[in-house]
């Protein structure tokens, strides 16, 4: 099992890195284009990435210890070009007699048969994904070309030692692998409807995309992204500003100032648009009322946990046995814990309950809406 465990675990860790690096940009892209975060679209995309990594690692790992690896196979056995040689190998399985049905369990348990079985299973998911992407069984010939090209890519990578990266091939080129991989992919393509009937079709997802129009209220997730992006950029600018013009112990105040500028002053000056809102194309619906005081109140709600944390930190830096100071330190620590827990609890609870907006937007009665580029 370690032969398969190593590629699976390697694919998982590489996928985790890719998913981490790609989640934020991909999420922002979806909010900009569709106005919401599609659960099924992300499940399909990220599972496809993980599958591709797993399939490639299964045919490539484990790698040789060094690039100048010794030759494992003689040149005359590097390529097996006889089609259906696997049936000859079946006959050589000890205890298996093709004419005796009782011996077939022996064949099914053998590594010779399991190798063929796993070769069929390797690209079966690819066929399912292709059926989902192509949408119609009439495009089977496109699926056939893609499946065959994929397995050919795998075999060539093995024959060329990862396209020349290693000195000598460490796996064999086998024409039977081309046959069994292609067979598995096409089986997956034709049985895909049985596996995909619980998943929304691409047409269903596109129809849902069209339901999100300009001037419609921004989704809960988009409003959270607006806040977090604005805070992240403001803190970055505040850190640079403090480093150049102020001393390091003024960092918190510098960050707070730039947060106020980015999430209060900017939307007042630019018709309800914040820096984070421009990323996901949402803004405050201004109407006839001024945004200054509502956004200032929002600024306080968002930054209150950070302010309490800062005060707590400064109190804890004071070393004294004064009972009043110790009481203050304990009180602010407990207050900080309660406020932070409450802050995240309310955010997550409202998201789970599918509320329209985060509490700090709901409490100021200022709606955030989508807008077109240039509006």
Point out the least confidently predicted range of 15-19, 349-353, 363-367.
15-19
Q: 155: which 2 tokens?
A: 């075999």
Instruction: Name the nearest CA neighbour of 226 among 363, 17, 371.
Output: 371
Instruction: Encode 237-261: b = buried (16+ Cβ within 10 Å), e = exposed.
Output: bbeebbeeeeeeeebbebbbbbbbe
Task: Give me the torsion for CA of 48, 49, 51, 54, rounded to 10°.
Answer: 180
Residue that wins the pLDDT comparison between 38 and 134: 134
pLDDT at 215 over 70: no
Question: DSSP 3-state assignment of 273?
Answer: coil
CA distance 125 to 117: 14
Q: Write down the pTM of the prediction.
A: 0.67
Instruction: Name the nearest CA neighbour of 284 among 275, 8, 326, 43.
Output: 275
pLDDT band at 1 (very low <50, low <70, confident <90, very high): very low
Instruction: Name the nearest CA neighbour of 184 among 120, 130, 113.
Output: 120
Q: Distances in Å between the alpha carbon of 153 and those of 35, 59, 145, 147?
A: 38, 10, 12, 10
- Across all residues in the chain, what is the average pLDDT? 85
Q: 360: which 2 tokens?
A: 């700090």
Question: DSSP 3-state assignment of 165?
Answer: coil
Note the helical H segments in the chain. 2-34, 39-60, 85-91, 104-109, 111-122, 124-134, 140-159, 161-164, 175-196, 202-210, 220-245, 251-260, 266-269, 275-280, 292-316, 323-352, 359-362
pLDDT at 123 over 60: yes
Using left for φ > 0, alpha for ψ between -120 and 50, and beta otherwise, residue 166 falls in beta
65 phi and psi angles, rounded to 5 deg = -70, -25
329 phi and psi angles, rounded to 5 deg = -60, -45
Residue 130 has a pLDDT of 96
Q: How does strand 79-80 pair with strand 173-174?
A: parallel
Cβ(186)–Cβ(144) below 8 Å = yes
Cβ(7)–Cβ(57) below 8 Å = yes
Residue that wins the pLDDT comparison between 180 and 40: 180
pLDDT mean over 220-230: 89
Per cent of the chain over pLDDT 90 is 37
Residue 122 has a pLDDT of 94
344 phi and psi angles, rounded to 5 deg = -75, -30
pLDDT mean over 117-124: 95
pLDDT band at 179 (very low <50, low <70, confident <90, very high): very high
pLDDT at 212 over 70: no
Instruction: Name the nearest CA neighbour of 212 among 40, 39, 34, 357.
Output: 34
Residue 200 has a pLDDT of 86
Cβ(299)–Cβ(289) below 8 Å = no
Point out the least confidently predicted range of 19-23, 186-190, 204-208.
19-23
pLDDT at 367 over 80: yes
CA distance 3 to 1: 5
pLDDT at 172 over 70: yes
Residue 49 has a pLDDT of 85
pLDDT mean over 274-278: 88
CA distance 310 to 173: 63
Per cent of the chain over pLDDT 70 is 89
301-344 tens-digit pLDDT: 999 999 999 998 888 888 767 787 888 888 989 999 999 999 99
């Amino acid at each position: 099992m370690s032969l398969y465990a190593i590629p699976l675990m390697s694919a998982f860790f590489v996928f985790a890195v890719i998913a981490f690096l790609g989640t934020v940009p991909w999420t922002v892209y979806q909010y900009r284009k569709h106005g919401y975060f599609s659960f099924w679209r992300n499940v399909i995309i990220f599972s496809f990435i993980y599958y591709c990594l797993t399939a490639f690692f299964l045919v490539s790992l484990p790698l040789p210890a060094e690039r100048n690896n010794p030759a494992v196979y003689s040149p005359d056995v590097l390529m097996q070009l006889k089609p259906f040689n696997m049936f000859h190998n079946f006959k050589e399985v000890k205890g298996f007699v093709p004419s005796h049905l009782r011996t077939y369990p022996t064949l099914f348990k053998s590594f010779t048969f399991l190798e063929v079985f796993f070769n069929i299973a390797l690209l079966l998911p690819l066929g399912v994904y292709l059926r989902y992407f192509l949408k119609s069984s009439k495009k089977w010939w496109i699926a056939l070309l893609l499946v065959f090209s994929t397995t050919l890519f795998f075999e060539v990578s093995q024959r060329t030692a990862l396209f020349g990266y290693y000195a000598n091939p460490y796996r064999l080129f086998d024409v039977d692998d081309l046959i069994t991989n292609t067979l598995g992919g096409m089986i997956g393509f034709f049985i895909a409807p049985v596996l995909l009937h619980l998943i929304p079709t691409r047409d269903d997802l596109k129809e849902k995309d069209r339901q999100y129009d300009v001037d419609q209220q921004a989704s809960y997730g988009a409003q959270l992204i607006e806040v977090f992006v604005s805070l992240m950029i403001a803190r970055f600018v505040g850190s640079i500003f403090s480093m150049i013009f102020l001393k390091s112990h003024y960092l918190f105040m510098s960050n707070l100032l730039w947060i106020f500028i980015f999430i209060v002053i900017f939307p007042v000056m630019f018709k309800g648009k914040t820096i984070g809102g421009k990323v996901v194309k949402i803004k405050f619906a201004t109407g006839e009322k001024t945004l200054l005081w509502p956004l200032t109140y929002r600024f306080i709600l968002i930054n209150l946990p950070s302010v309490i944390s800062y005060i707590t930190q400064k109190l804890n830096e004071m070393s004294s046995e004064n009972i009043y100071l110790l009481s203050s330190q304990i009180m602010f620590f407990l207050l900080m814990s309660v406020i932070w827990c409450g802050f995240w609890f309310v955010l997550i609870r409202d998201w789970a309950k599918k509320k329209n907006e985060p509490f700090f937007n709901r409490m100021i009665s200022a709606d955030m809406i989508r807008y077109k580029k240039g509006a």
